[in-house]
Structure 1
Amino acid sequence: MQTEGRASLNDANADRRRRRQLGLFAAVAFVVLAVDIVTKIIAMSQLADREPIRLAGGLLTLLLVRNSGAAFGLAEGYTIILSLVALAVVVVVLRLSRTLRSTPWAIALGLLLGGAFGNLSDRIFREPGFLRGHVVDFLALPNWPVFNVADASICAAAALIIVLAMRGRRWDGTIEESGRRPDSDKPDTSARQAHEPPQTPGVAADEPALRKAE
């Protein structure tokens, strides 16, 4: 009975952790998507037909660019293919989120999903048409292609995913080298150990103690 109770408690704790990770994942994705959409709307209204605006001594430049390629202006002319790739990324991330048990992975996948959705929304809803729309870019650093918030989020996600992969941490909370879970996810056995009687040295746990000599 006690074993069943502890198992139920561990399952409940694991379920709460899973809900927290999913909540964090969704919150990060929503914030990235919202910031990306709002900043693009502002850029479209404030930077159209204007000279580039240099900030912080030229460290950051604001200028409006409509990009038919991937992040940082790469692969121009492959808009439909890039749109399908973005759709595939969204599907894969959503499937992975079903087994999400890691806080760092929740942040990484949230950044990736929000960034992918941000640029995908441009390709779907902006001119010249469905899955062919041009992405709005408006941020530029010295000697660096023009980008947007979604691009920056995708790059941050990629960097974090690389770090997690190098450390062997998987999205389901296991550690790749041994397939074990981190200590925080292990069942608590302290209560069981506290109620177990001490064992006599040299006597196996499942063997009866020797009777006293007559």
Structure 2
Amino acid sequence: MPTVFIAGVLTFLVDQITKYWVVHVLELDRLRDMPIWPPFLNFKMAWNYGINFGLFQGDTDTTRWILIGIALLISGVVLWWIRREPGGIWQKIAAGLLIGGAMGNVVDRLVYGAVADFLNMSCCGIDNPYAFNVADIAVFAGAVGMVIFTGEKKAA
């Protein structure tokens, strides 16, 4: 479990530090858009009241608390899963990524009322209108890793 905890805390800290930097230092919430390496990487501020791609958008307290509850429930299930079926180190790292990312977005919902998304990537003539954050990357990578590395034998 220490591996899960370390991966989760590091993921959470990187996510929260990047969000603090973008919102409070760069003031992206005021500027809205900042080209970094167009079109491949741009900072575009988006307050996400829903889930991925703005699904289930609802600027209400009920929606916010339901999404917080779902994130906490999923994190609890992941912890239960890896305690019940302990796998190798990569599964534990994946679990930490998923939980750390989920907790980063939970803190956003508690502090800001919405998730701070700011990373935008486009390529090859495709203009991507969506933004995401470090927590979103970690949740996705963690979920994929949990699937790939489940069943991996625990190191002796």
SS of 2:31's equivalent in the other structure is: coil
- When normalised by structure 2's length, the TM-score is 0.82
Which has more radius of gyration? 1
Alignment-derived partner of residue 71 in structure 2 = 86
Structure 2 unmatched ranges of 5 or more: 123-127
| TM-score between the two structures when normalised by the length of structure 1 | 0.61
Match of 1:113 in 2: 99
Q: CA RMSD in A?
A: 1.9
1:51 Cα deviation after fit: 4.6
Letter in 1 for 2:6: A
Supply the distance in 1 between the matched residues of 2:91 and 2:100 (Cα, whole angstroms).
Answer: 14
Partner of 1:125: 111
Q: Which runs of 5+ in 1 are unaligned?
A: 1-21, 127-132, 174-181, 186-214
Matched to 2:107, the amino acid is S
Aligned length: 144
Distance change (3 Å), C-alpha of 1:88 and 1:51: closer
CA distances 1:20-76 after superposition (whole Å, capped 9, x unpaired): xx2221111111100111111111121132151122232011022111011332221
Identity of paired residues, percent? 31
Deviations 1:167-209 (A, max 9, x none): xx16xx4xxxxxxxx6x54xxxxxxxxxxxxxxxxxxxxxxxx
- Offset of 1:144 from its aligned partner? 5.2
Q: Secondary structure, in 3 states, of the residue corresponding to 2:119?
A: strand
Larger relative contact order (Cα-Cα within 8 Å, sequence gap ≥ 6):
2
Normalized per residue, which structure has more strand?
Answer: 2
Indicate yes or no: 2:132 matched with 1:147.
yes
Aligned residue identity for 1:65: A
Q: Residue in 1 aligned with 2:125?
A: none
